[in-house]
């Protein structure tokens, strides 16, 4: 292998490594944030539940295959006879990329359907009182189409 070809493969490995790290970071972020706020999203519709499950599975697989690609790149840098860009390393990189795009697409459709079908988000189960939902100056259940006596404008 010539020096220019080796330099080219080294640059390709560097770029692939950066791409895989970005996929891992972004997929993990979407997984963490969506899992954190799932209790605020109405999931009564079966299609919405299926879409979030597909998104989570795809993003998890994207992280897995991206890690496998990084492992292949590291092995290729340690073993001069191993070329990460052929065989399993190349397939893992492609799968990581495709699962990431599929996961983002499923999550985007999930978010769109949640807004269209869900209306207003439901309250988390730990909020048992509607006092938290009353605007400042109103008691829970008080009619909110008029001023409370304590806040009535003085004319």
Within a domain: 113: yes
Residue 17: band (very low, low, confident or very high) from pLDDT cuts 50, 70, 90: very high
Residues 99, 61 contacting (CB under 8 angstroms): yes
Q: Is the model more confident about 10 or about 128?
A: 10
Residues 99, 65 contacting (CB under 8 angstroms): yes
Q: Please state the pTM of the whole predicted model.
A: 0.71
Within a domain: 76: yes
**What value does the mean pLDDT take over residues 27-52?**
88
Within a domain: 11: yes
Q: What separation in angstroms does the CA of 143 have from each of 62, 135, 139, 147?
A: 51, 11, 9, 9
Residue 92: band (very low, low, confident or very high) from pLDDT cuts 50, 70, 90: very high
Q: Which range marks the domain in which residue 108 is found?
A: 3-120
Within a domain: 134: no
C-beta neighbour count of 51 within 10 angstroms: 22
Within a domain: 133: no
For residue 46, the model assigns a pLDDT of 85
CA distance 46 to 15: 40
Indicate if the pLDDT at residue 121 is higher than 50.
no
């Amino acid at each position: 292998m010539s020096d220019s070809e080796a330099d080219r493969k080294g640059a390709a490995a560097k770029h692939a490594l950066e791409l895989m790290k970005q996929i891992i970071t972004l997929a993990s972020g979407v997984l963490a944030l969506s899992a954190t706020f799932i209790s605020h999203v109405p999931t009564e519709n079966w299609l919405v539940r299926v879409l979030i499950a597909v998104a989570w599975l795809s993003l998890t697989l994207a992280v897995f295959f991206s890690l496998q690609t990084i492992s292949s790149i590291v092995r290729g840098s340690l073993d001069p006879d191993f070329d990460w860009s052929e065989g399993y390393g190349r397939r893992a990189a492609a799968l990581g990329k495709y699962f990431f795009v599929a996961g983002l697409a499923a999550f985007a459709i999930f978010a769109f359907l949640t807004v269209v079908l869900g209306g207003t988000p439901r309250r988390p189960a730990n909020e048992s009182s509607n006092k938290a939902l009353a605007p400042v100056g109103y008691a829970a259940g008080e009619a909110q189409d008029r001023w409370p006596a304590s806040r009535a404008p003085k004319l």
